[in-house]
Amino acid sequence: MSGFRLIEWIFLGLAVTGTISSTIFLVLALAGAWHYLRANRAAPEVQDTDLPPVSVLKPVHGLEPALGENIESFFRQDYPDYEVLIAAAEENDAALPVVREVCARYPHIRSKILVTGPPPWPNPPAYSFHRMTAISQHEILVTSDSDVYVAPNYLREVVAPLLDKNNGLVTCLYRGKNLGGFWSALDAIGMSVEMTAGVLVANLLEGMKFGLGPTIALRKDSLAKIGGYPAVGDYFSNDFAIGKFVAKAGYRVILSRHVIDHVVPYMTFRRMWERQVRWAKGTRESRPKGHVGTGLIFAVPHGILGFAAAELLGFPRLAILLLGMALLNRLIECWAIGWKVVRDPRARNAMWLYPVRDLFGFLVWSASYLSRKTVWRDNRYRLLEGGRIVLREPGGNK
């Protein structure tokens, strides 16, 4: 057997292995979706008199698309008693005029704007949450990113599980809300399907042991037990870390039945690529073993590899079978997870996007292993083992 022939057989073996592993993942994702939806159907309704007052904490940074609508959605909650605290690092932050205008339109909702100054911690949002927690009036904190839009029943649904003292943290699934552009659409469909499928499988196999940044709700007692926000101030994925620490402290982490919109602005290929690789690098350090295994859940790259290898070996029917199985795998996952679970209309009406996203996701995963350096909010960081980060000087190599 020639060397090239041997390589073709090796590639075919890799493709078949990837097809099997991605099919197993699809089955697990479907089981995770069933488990999640069944649990949510059993969730009891909570009366107004049982709902405790809540402090909503939101950091802002710059004038993001749809910022006003996103912030306003938190002022339109069907919830008896809550306050909204908003923090920016600088007084001249472009987001603050928009925030002040929204606050003025809702004088009946208690709100306060805090200027924290430059964060002394590597993770700026963690420092913002720390400062807002210090002035918050209530025992239950709901933290959320500025690029999130929520429905009026959001607070009701994320706060209710915290009435059980054994539940220490609640987090939410989210769907990508694309504001325009092909690359933004790939980013958004990845949120709705790829990200959600991974969370549902983790929830099925081991329960939630981490948080998701667009929403984390917790009580001050569970936060204090892990050392407060200083305990996660030097973690790149502070949302993941805080959920991990709360779970280690003996509390349950709950995946809420509420699904939120994660707004995705128009992006160029470069911006989308850098954002995706940055997130993937954070996952690589936070969950190193799981991230390695992620390479086996992508179906389309293995389908393409199998098609090429089988054609070169003279097996055209096998080539079509492997590629067809890969595409069908992703279309099923897109519909079942993106539409049936998080109700993203694009996951139903433009399912073809997800196979493209699957191929792109594999490239992002591969790129996440090329370096430990990353850029976030114009700051340069070096990722350390375990998910911690070190701030590097601009242009430095530390």
Residue 398 has a pLDDT of 34
- Average pLDDT (210-234) is 95
Residue with tokens 């959600």: 196
HSE-CB of 259 using CA atoms within 13 angstroms: 22
Lowest-confidence range among 71-75, 151-155, 347-351, 386-390? 386-390
Q: How far apart are CA 186 and CA 127, in angstroms?
A: 31
- For the chain, what percent of residues have pLDDT higher than 90? 79
User: What is the tens place of the pLDDT at every residue in 264-274?
Assistant: 999 999 999 98
Q: How far apart are CA 321 and CA 331, in angstroms?
A: 15
Residue 144 backbone dihedrals phi, psi, to 5 degrees: -155, 150
Residue 377 has a pLDDT of 66
Residue 42 has a pLDDT of 67
Q: Can you read off the two tokens belonging to residue 328?
A: 């069908």
User: What is the tens place of the pLDDT at every residue in 201-220?
Assistant: 999 999 999 999 899 999 99
Residue 375 has a pLDDT of 73
Residues 354/347, Cβ–Cβ less than 8 Å: yes
- Flag whether pLDDT at 65 surpasses 60: yes
Residue 87 has a pLDDT of 98
Residues 6 or more apart in contact with residue 142 via CB below 8 angstroms: 54, 55, 56, 57, 155, 158, 159, 215, 216, 217
Q: How far apart are CA 239 and CA 242, in angstroms?
A: 5
Extended strands (E) in 107-198 = 110-115, 140-143, 148-149, 167-178
User: What is the tens place of the pLDDT at every residue in 327-356?
Assistant: 999 999 999 999 999 999 999 999 999 999
Which string of DSSP letters, residue by residue, matches 280-335?
Answer: HHHHHHHSHHHHHHHTTT--HHHHHHHHHHHHHHT-HHHHHHHHHHHHHHHHHHII
Residues 8/307, Cβ–Cβ less than 8 Å: no
Inter-axis angle of helices 300-313 and 316-333, nearest 10: 170
Element of type H or E holding 260? strand 252-264
Q: Can you read off the two tokens belonging to residue 96?
A: 């603050």
Return the closest-CA partner of residue 196 out of 176, 180, 181. Answer: 176
Residue 395 has a pLDDT of 41
Average pLDDT, the chain: 92
pLDDT class of 382 with cuts at 50, 70, 90: confident
User: What is the tens place of the pLDDT at every residue in 292-341?
Assistant: 888 989 999 999 999 999 999 999 999 999 999 999 999 999 999 999 99
- Average pLDDT (182-198) is 96
Q: Can you read off the two tokens belonging to residue 359?
A: 């191929």
The gap from C-alpha 210 to its chain's centroid, in whole angstroms, comes to 11
- Flag whether pLDDT at 394 surpasses 50: no
Residue 397 has a pLDDT of 36
Return the closest-CA partner of residue 302 out of 321, 283, 315, 286. Answer: 321
What domains sit in the chain, N to C, each tagged with a CATH number?
3-36+294-371 (no CATH), 46-288 (3.90.550.10)
Check the CA dihedral 57-63-69-70 and report its sign: negative
Residue 376 has a pLDDT of 67
HSE-CB of 284 using CA atoms within 13 angstroms: 22
Residue 221 has a pLDDT of 96
pLDDT class of 279 with cuts at 50, 70, 90: confident
- Flag whether pLDDT at 1 surpasses 60: no
Residue with tokens 């979706």: 33
- Flag whether pLDDT at 396 surpasses 50: no
- Flag whether pLDDT at 389 surpasses 80: no
- Average pLDDT (108-115) is 97
Residue 386 has a pLDDT of 76
